[in-house]
Amino acid sequence: MVSSGCERVLVANRGEIARRVMHTCRTLGIETVAVFSDADTDAPFVVEADIAVRLPGEAAADTYLRGDRIVDAAKSSGADAIHPGYGFLSENAEFAQAVLDAGLTWIGPDPKTIEQMGSKVRAKEIMSAAGVPVLTAESGRYPMLVKASAGGGGRGMRVVDGPAELDSAIAAAEAEAEAAFGDGTVFVEPYLPTARHIEVQVLADRHGTCWVLGERDCSIQRRHQKVVEETPAPGISDDVRTRLRDAARAAVAAVDYVGAGTVEFLVKDEVVSFLEMNTRLQVEHPVTECVWGVDLVELQIAVAEDRALSSRFGPKGPVSSGETGRSGPNLGDGHAIEVRVYAEDPADDWRAQTGTVRAFEFAADTRFEVPRSYGVRVDSAVEPGSEIGIHYDPMLAKVVAWAPDRGQTIRMLRGALRHARVHGVRTNLELLGAILSDDDFVTGRVHTRLLDDRLEQWTEPRRSSGELHRYAVAAALVQAHSAHGAARVQSRIPAAYRNVPSQSRTRTYVIGDESIEIAYASERGRFVVDGVEVVHVDEHGVRLRHNGVRESYDVTVDGDAVYVDGPTGPLDLRTVPRFTDPAETVAEGSLLAATPASVAVVAVATGDEVQKGQTVVVLEAMKMQHTVSAPTDGVVAAIEVAAEQQVEAGAVLAVIDEHVPEGERT
């Protein structure tokens, strides 16, 4: 039974993790308080909380990173505890101490431990002294990695292939680390591009119990940020598995760790090396929850209330937990894999996407909790109608499959992604499907450079031209059917009815960068399209027959946007208008913002000569920077933006006049 220690918990976070923590709190009978920025006013996590407190502003620096405002919100709302989630202030020792100083319960490790592990330099020193194997750099050996001592998420990291790059890489990493974490300290370690990134989940109380809840492989990463995580780690020996868990337990003992945490390692050629310790809940915690039968948020709360870990707090059966000899959870059941669904375009330098989520549906067995049996779990930040802006991380959801073995888990997860309905913003769903189908991934031959090495292959169009054509046919026929139904004249006559064959009509669509024109005609009440038989059309969808195979397509029309769900998953199309508004044209040579963003850097001035590929403007959206480069040699005719300015998608950033060498002018 939950004690009176936590009766009303404020979640100092947003999005998916705020919803996740609140889900467990509701199960335990604990009231919840949300804090929200102006950009999140109508977000699902705000609506679902019992109480919500506004943090004025939109940027994280003015809201979710303001510890003083969050503590004030806890006091004004009557909260008696704060759960930090992950990211933002979750590993900020000063914030943790401020929570305790305010007389509130901090659902996390001790501030001193957070401070020790918050500096990666200090953390390595402590672990080395405790006998935990640590990766150390050797002078003159390349490649190496320049890395921020504070923070994470891939910020403040630079790979250096040779001595000529070292000074500039250090300077760039220091600047990025200072901007992201307020601490420009960096250090250097060997870069192991084909190593495995494997982490161990730990949980410890103040009564001498330490649980080691298996390991997770997190090797599939983009820009040092995880994309796919799974447990148990495939393809490692029992000896490596034992050394990982023993090293994690030693790390816990070295800092008297309390609460849920993760000890991260690199594994290369059976050599295990400490990477860092995350003093918080991890994004990928659901895979551990599925396999080990625990609710880590519930256990975090139990530890914060100074209760001893016990088998009645979630784990399914007792085993020895090593040195303590106390009871702990069972050895794990089956295999679980999580993928992160992002609003981004992997084929376009991971460009973050913005817009309104029009549909967001997964066939999930549960949301925010472990399925009763094997199945699919979805932890999501959004619902249909949610706005995706520029201020925060672009992760939309985590989709988790749990099955008796890894092969079945991969198949189950592929099916969940294939049948998802996600529309309104471009996502990485197709990339995730390609990863799960790759031979090396399927056989467990993974490493931290695999995604970079296969990116071009994994982002190749997954649909053939014929498949895209049938999606566009479905869109065109539903729009034609709906247009006829809306007509005032002859609306009772079937949409495709003609006494004699009609001349073809056309509709044109844009799918990504590709334009597709669909020609259709009507004959005696039926639509006719070359290359495919039209079986049925109504306002909701189309059934087509192609080479003897019937396919069903569900279609939703939203202005110029058309959302189609077909045999190979969701697809967004845009209708090309028959006539173009002259006001929508822009000057030749204009560089446009692909998404709403903040201008981080203007690298040139009007009148400057630039070369093709030279940086003109750097934009920042969703914590990621995107470089806008000159498409050709030329002269900067105009700069239309300034640093720190907010711009909308399609805004003109600069105009480049193509440069003609003086000797070739006429």
What is 125-184 written as a DSSP string? HHHHHTT--B----TT-SSEEEEESS--TTTTEEEE-SHHHHHHHHHHHHHHHHHHHS--
Residues 6+ apart with CB under 8 A from 47: none
Q: Look at residue 623 in the predicted model and tell me its pLDDT.
A: 60
- Asked if residue 318 has pLDDT above 50, the reply is no
Predicted model pTM? 0.85
Q: Look at residue 61 in the predicted model and tell me its pLDDT.
A: 92
**Band of residue 585 on the pLDDT scale cut at 50, 70, 90:** low
Q: Look at residue 325 in the predicted model and tell me its pLDDT.
A: 31
User: What are residue 662's phi and psi, to 5 degrees?
Assistant: -55, -35
Please name which of 252, 269, 370, 265 lies closest in space to residue 322, comparing C-alpha atoms: 252
Q: Look at residue 409 in the predicted model and tell me its pLDDT.
A: 98
Please name which of 508, 482, 488, 484 lies closest in space to residue 498, comparing C-alpha atoms: 484
- Asked if residue 314 has pLDDT above 80, the reply is no
Parse the chain into domains and list their residue ranges.
Answer: 8-107, 136-191, 197-333, 335-458, 469-575, 583-664
- Asked if residue 3 has pLDDT above 50, the reply is no
**Band of residue 319 on the pLDDT scale cut at 50, 70, 90:** very low
At the topology level, CATH places domain 583-664 in: OB fold (Dihydrolipoamide Acetyltransferase, E2P) (2.40.50)
- Which amino acid type is present at position 588? E
Active site residues: 280
- Region 399-416: mean pLDDT is 98
CATH 2.60.40.10 fits 335-458, yes or no: no
Average pLDDT over the chain, rounded to an integer: 89
Q: CA distances (Å), 631 to each of 614, 616, 635, 639, 640, in order? A: 8, 10, 11, 15, 17
* Least confident segment among 338-342, 499-503, 556-560: 499-503
- Asked if residue 579 has pLDDT above 70, the reply is no
- Asked if residue 368 has pLDDT above 60, the reply is yes
Share of the chain above pLDDT 90, in %: 69
Q: Look at residue 151 in the predicted model and tell me its pLDDT.
A: 67
The C-alpha R_g of the chain, in whole angstroms, comes to 27
Round to whole Å and give the CA distance between 639 and 546.
Answer: 52
Greater pLDDT, 149 or 519: 519
Round to whole Å and give the CA distance between 311 and 305.
Answer: 17
**Band of residue 189 on the pLDDT scale cut at 50, 70, 90:** confident
Residue 343 near residue 350 (C-beta atoms within 8 A): no
Determine the length of the chain: 666
* Least confident segment among 130-134, 282-286, 325-329: 325-329
- Region 318-336: mean pLDDT is 54
- Region 509-527: mean pLDDT is 88
At the topology level, CATH places domain 136-191 in: Dna Ligase; domain 1 (3.30.1490)
At the topology level, CATH places domain 197-333 in: D-amino Acid Aminotransferase; Chain A, domain 1 (3.30.470)
Q: Look at residue 626 in the predicted model and tell me its pLDDT.
A: 77
With tokens 């028959």, the residue in question is 578
**Band of residue 24 on the pLDDT scale cut at 50, 70, 90:** very high
**Band of residue 486 on the pLDDT scale cut at 50, 70, 90:** low
- Asked if residue 666 has pLDDT above 70, the reply is no
- Asked if residue 121 has pLDDT above 50, the reply is yes
Q: Look at residue 624 in the predicted model and tell me its pLDDT.
A: 65
Pick the CATH number of 469-575 from 1.20.120, 3.30.70, 3.30.700, 3.40.50: 3.30.700
- Asked if residue 324 has pLDDT above 60, the reply is no
394 three-class SS: coil
Q: Look at residue 646 in the predicted model and tell me its pLDDT.
A: 82
Round to whole Å and give the CA distance between 432 and 448.
Answer: 16
**Band of residue 662 on the pLDDT scale cut at 50, 70, 90:** low
The half-sphere exposure of 652 on its side-chain side, counting CA atoms within 13 A, is 15
Domains 335-458 and 583-664 share a fold: no
Write the pLDDT tens digit of every residue in 434-459.
Answer: 999 999 999 999 999 999 999 999 99
**Band of residue 648 on the pLDDT scale cut at 50, 70, 90:** confident
Please name which of 258, 319, 292 lies closest in space to residue 112, comparing C-alpha atoms: 258
Give the helix, strand, coil percentages of the chain, each rounded to 5. Answer: 30, 35, 40
- Asked if residue 499 has pLDDT above 60, the reply is no
Please return the burial class of 418, using the count of CB atoms within 10 Å of its CB with bins 0-12, 13-18 and 19+: middle
Q: Look at residue 577 in the predicted model and tell me its pLDDT.
A: 82
At the topology level, CATH places domain 8-107 in: Rossmann fold (3.40.50)
Q: Look at residue 323 in the predicted model and tell me its pLDDT.
A: 35
Please return the burial class of 460, using the count of CB atoms within 10 Å of its CB with bins 0-12, 13-18 and 19+: exposed
Write the pLDDT tens digit of every residue in 125-179.
Answer: 999 999 999 988 776 788 888 888 776 666 778 888 888 888 888 888 888 877 7
- Region 526-545: mean pLDDT is 95
Distance of CA 220 to the CA centre of its chain: 13
Q: Look at residue 495 in the predicted model and tell me its pLDDT.
A: 55
Round to whole Å and give the CA distance between 323 and 492.
Answer: 80
